Each structure stands twice: as structure tokens, then as C-alpha cells.
């Protein structure tokens, strides 16, 4: 439903977005990850037609965003970065305004406004000027505004930034329920969010797409993918670490904590090693406190992919 082709944007000498191409279909939730200044927001601004690209095209539901902007915008909902809103208005009057701009009138308008206020829990502050709302409530107003017309394509720039944990949970739930019949693109700096809501994750760094895959694919790129955490009770037995290191498929075993017997066993090439480890445990009758498989650390993948090589050490 959203298609980007060879999208590029430069601001003078700065290349903000470089040759980005992808498509997002119904039912997909695409998460943009990337360091500050990577070009996530700029890409979103071009998808929504606010910025004109230096090169390339974007189509939304088959409408070219620059040749048929009105049709494309009808089916788009957009939460800009920082959730801007007219500060002197109240959430109620602001949502009425957006609803009217979207072409709703009368009973339909009031129904949609109250429905959307309920979805993001805004009823309590309906009559308070937006300027005086806390950051999280402002974000919710921005979110409400983006979904009031039930768009088929949703672009959300850091939708959960500034929300409390309960609200984060609710908003993620909301995004997941909407995901079925929409194409959603969101950006986030919260890596766990990728797990919670995204069906697909894309890391953007230095204005280019670096990886594009499911969150699981991304985790599989971690050194910790399929690593095993093992914690034993009892007197510190010698040679445990060496024994673990000698198991088939094991790359290395590192002691996590000096005194407690806790080890992280890293596999060679990400192959599953839990079987070998548990057999070893049985053979020696070790007293196990914890035995678990890691899926991989997204933050580690993120760092290794987005930081220039020399900065890694």
C-alpha cells in the first residue's frame, strides 16, 4: 500500500535520505530504527507529502504523493515528530477541527471524535488547552488526530515517546489491533517496541537502509543469538568453564559473575546448543538454578550495525 522508489533527499550538502526503496503492505507494521539524524523522520515527511524529495517517488494506495496529493493524503494518518498541535485549542476542539478538515460533519464528526478520544484515554483533559497538557497527553492528542479518519496507511514518528508504561502498553495494543487492516510505519528508539508491535524492522543509518527483516531475523544477527545462560548452585567447581567450552558447537563460555557460577555460553555461527549444554548438565549432575536460551540482543545488533567499525572497540 506504500511504495518508495529510489527516494533521496538532500538539504544543501547534507544527504538526509539516500536511495531508499521498499514497500509496505496491509497487515505489516514496519519499525524504523536508527541513530539520531539517520533520516527516519525525513523519510516519513516525504511519505506523507510534506517534503518534496530530491529524487524518487512515493505512492500511497496507488496515488503518487506529489501528482495526486489530496487523494494520497485522504488515506494517510500521520503523527509528526514531537506531536505538534495548536496549543491554544483544547483536545476536543482540535480533534473537531481535524475531523472537519477530513470532511466529517455533524453526528458523524462527534461520533468519531469521542470514539478516538476514548481510544487514547483523552476524556479527562478534553477541555484543557493543549499547551497546558503534559508531554504524554500531547502525544496522545497527536495520535488521536492521526487515526480519526481510520486511514489505511499510518505513519507514526516516535508514537510512544514520553508515554508512561501503562500508556505505552495501551498504545502498542492499539497499534496491534489496527495493524490487521492497515499498513503502519513507525519509528522508535525503544528496541523492545520492535518486538512488541513490529512485524518487520528496518535499521537506517547514515541515510541508508542497512537491514530489513523480521525482528527475529535481526536478533539472529546477534552474537548472543541462541546463546545459553547457565547458573549453578553450590561450591565453585573447577573446570566447569573448560568443560562447557569443550562442548560441540560452542564457541566460548564466559563467566558472567566472579563468585556465583553463572556462565554465558556462546554458540558457533548461531547454531542451537541448548541440547549439548543440558546433556552436559545431566551427565555431571550439576545443581541448576537457571538454564535459558537467549534470542539475541537487539541493542547489540543495533550498535554493531550503526556504529562505524573503529568506534566499536
Ligand X SMILES: Nc1ncnc2c1ncn2[C@@H]1O[C@H](COP(=O)(O)OP(=O)(O)OP(=O)(O)O)[C@@H](O)[C@H]1O
The binder of 16, among other proteins, ligand X, Mg ion, none, by C-beta within 5 to 8 A per type, is ligand X
Phi, psi (deg, nearest 5) at residue 101: -65, -30
Of 37-45, 127-135, 206-214, 235-243, the window that binds Mg ion (rule: CB under 5 A) is 37-45
The DSSP bridge partners found for residue 64 are: 59
Stretch that binds other proteins, among 73-81, 161-169, 188-196, 258-266 (CB under 8 A): 73-81
Among other proteins, ligand X, Mg ion, none, the one that 48 touches (CB under a kind-dependent 5 to 8 A) is other proteins
Asked if 36 touches ligand X (CB under 6 A), the answer is yes
Q: Which lies closer to ligand X via its Cβ, residue 56 or residue 249?
A: 56
Cα within 13 Å of Cα(9), Cβ side: 25
* 72, 77, 78, 96, 146 from 105: Cα distances, Å: 21, 19, 21, 9, 17
Q: Rule CB under 5 A: is residue 41 a binding residue for Mg ion?
A: yes
Q: Which is nearer to ligand X, 191 or 276 (CB)?
A: 191
Q: CB under 5 A: which stretch of 6-14, 79-87, 131-139, 231-239 binds Mg ion?
A: 79-87
Angle between helices 135-147 and 165-179 (to 10 degrees): 10
Reduced to 3 states (helix: H, G, I; strand: E, B; else coil), residue 92 is helix
Phi, psi for 155 (deg, rounded to 5): -120, 115
Sole binder of other proteins in the list 101, 216, 260, 307 (CB under 8 A): 101
Who's near 247: CB < 8 A, 6+ residues apart?
265, 273, 276, 277, 280
What separation in angstroms does the CA of 188 have from each of 94, 151, 161, 197? 25, 21, 8, 11
Binding flag, residue 34, ligand X (CB under 6 A): yes
DSSP state of 258: T
In whole angstroms, the minimum distance from the beta carbon of 9 to Mg ion comes to 13
- Contacted entry of other proteins, ligand X, Mg ion, none for residue 115, CB cut-off 5 to 8 Å set by kind: none
Question: Of 122-141, which residues contact other proteins (CB under 8 A)?
Answer: 129
Residue 14 phi, psi dihedral angles, 5° rounding: -80, 125
Q: How far apart are CA 58 and CA 64, in angstroms?
A: 6
Contact status: 14 vs ligand X (CB under 6 A): yes
Asked if 51 interacts with other proteins (CB under 8 A), we say yes
Number of residues that bind other proteins (CB under 8 A): 29
Residue placing its CB nearer to ligand X in the complex, 36 or 285: 36
* Residue 103 binds which entry of ligand X, Mg ion, other proteins, none, CB below 5-8 Å type-dependent: other proteins
Closer residue to ligand X in complex, CB, 16/148: 16
Q: Where are the beta strands (DSSP E) in 65-181?
A: 76-79, 153-157
To ligand X, the closest distance from the beta carbon of 163 in angstroms equals: 17
Residue 37 touches which of Mg ion, ligand X, other proteins, none (Cβ within 5-8 Å per kind) = ligand X
Q: Which is nearer to ligand X, 18 or 294 (CB)?
A: 18
Instruction: Give, in degrees to the nearest 5, the angle at Cα 25 between 24 and 28.
Output: 80
Q: By C-alpha distance, which of 106, 53, 44 is closest to 76?
A: 44
Binding site for Mg ion (CB under 5 A): 40-41, 81
Binding site for other proteins (CB under 8 A): 45, 48-51, 69-70, 73-74, 76, 78, 80-82, 84-89, 93, 97-98, 100-103, 129, 145
Amino acid at each position: 500500500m506504500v511504495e518508495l522508489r529510489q527516494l533521496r533527499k538532500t538539504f544543501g550538502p547534507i544527504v538526509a535520505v539516500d536511495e531508499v526503496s521498499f514497500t509496505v503492505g496491509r497487515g505489516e507494521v514496519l519499525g524504523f530504527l536508527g541513530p539520531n539524524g539517520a533520516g527516519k523522520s525525513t523519510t516519513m515527511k516525504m511519505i506523507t507529502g510534506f517534503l518534496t524529495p530530491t529524487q524518487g517517488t512515493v505512492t500511497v494506495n496507488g496515488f503518487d504523493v506529489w501528482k495526486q496529493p489530496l487523494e494520497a493524503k485522504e488515506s494517510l494518518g500521520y503523527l509528526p515528530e514531537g506531536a505538534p498541535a495548536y496549543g491554544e485549542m483544547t483536545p476536543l476542539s482540535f480533534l473537531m477541527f481535524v475531523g472537519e478538515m477530513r470532511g466529517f460533519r455533524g453526528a458523524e464528526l462527534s461520533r468519531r471524535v469521542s470514539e478516538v478520544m476514548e481510544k487514547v484515554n483523552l476524556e479527562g483533559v478534553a477541555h484543557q488547552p493543549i499547551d497546558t497538557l503534559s508531554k504524554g497527553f500531547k502525544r496522545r492528542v497527536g495520535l488521536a488526530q492521526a487515526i480519526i479518519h481510520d486511514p489505511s496507511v499510518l505513519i507514526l514518528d516516535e508514537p510512544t515517546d514520553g508515554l508512561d508504561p501503562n500508556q505505552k502498553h495501551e498504545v502498542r495494543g492499539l497499534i496491534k489491533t489496527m495493524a490487521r487492516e492497515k499498513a503502519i510505519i513507525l519509528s522508535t528508539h525503544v528496541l523492545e517496541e520492535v518486538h512488541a508491535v513490529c512485524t518487520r524492522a528496518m535499521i537506517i543509518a547514515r541515510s541508508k537502509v542497512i537491514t530489513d527483516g523480521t525482528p527475529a531475523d535481526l536478533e539472529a544477527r546477534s552474537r548472543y543469538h541462541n546463546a545459553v545462560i547457565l547458573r549453578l548452585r553450590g561450591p565453585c567447581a573447577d573446570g566447569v568453564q573448560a568443560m562447557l567450552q569443550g562442548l560441540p558447537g560452542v564457541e566460548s563460555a564466559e563467566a558472567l559473575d566472579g563468585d556465583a557460577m553463572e556462565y554465558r555460553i556462546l554458540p558457533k555461527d548461531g547454531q542451537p546448543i541448548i541440547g549439548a549444554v543440558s546433556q552436559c548438565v545431566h551427565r555431571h549432575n550439576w545443581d541448576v538454578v537457571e538454564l535459558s536460551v537467549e534470542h539475541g540482543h537487539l541493542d547489540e545488533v543495533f550498535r554493531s550495525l550503526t556504529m562505524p567499525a573503529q568506534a566499536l572497540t
